[in-house]
Amino acid sequence: MVLELNPMDEETILVVTKRNCLFRFPEEMEYRDLAPVFPELLDLFMRVSDQYPEEGGEEYMETLIRLNLRDLTKNRKPMGHNREARYRMIFPLESDRVEFLVYPRISEEESEIDTVVNELSEFFDEKGIEYELIWDQMRSLMKEEKK
């Protein structure tokens, strides 16, 4: 996918180097609204992205869930899943809305981001949680190139 950076400058374009997806929830949603489903959501994310830790996995997951739930129940933005892994789930700092990004830290050719996003979408559909998907919004995953 190629997006024009400046329509007046025919020489500069932005090129998406990795696909990413933003899950955006309705404006009236609060972080605490995610708390009841977050343990299952994070577990699904880790399994579908093939990142569930093998050794000590249960303990690691319990800790990760507990840290995120501590923030969610206090209606604060959680940390998400930010370790060095194939895929990340992050709650953008610059946003006032409840939303999170899923993006691969692997090459676009190796990425199965569509599969990960589809599984998470089905999860929210099953839970009756309204959301919007916005693809390729992370400018940091784009690079400028000359035509």
Full domain range(s) for residue 88: 2-146
User: Whole-angstrom Cα distance, residue 31 to residue 42?
Assistant: 15
Give the H/E segment covering residue 122.
helix 113-127
User: Whole-angstrom Cα distance, residue 140 to residue 18?
Assistant: 10
Residue 144 has a pLDDT of: 46
pLDDT < 70 positions in the chain:
1-18, 82-84, 138-147
Residue 95 has a pLDDT of: 85
Q: Which two tokens stand for residue 117?
A: 């996003």
Residue 2 has a pLDDT of: 41
CB 12 within 8 A of CB 144: yes
CB 92 within 8 A of CB 23: no
**CATH code: domain of residue 122:** 3.30.70
CB 103 within 8 A of CB 20: yes
pLDDT digits (tens, 9 = 90+) for 27-50: 999 999 999 999 999 999 999 988
Residue 32 has a pLDDT of: 97
Residue 17 has a pLDDT of: 47
Residue 108 has a pLDDT of: 77
Residue 18 has a pLDDT of: 52
Q: Which two tokens stand for residue 45?
A: 């994310």
Domain count, the chain: 1
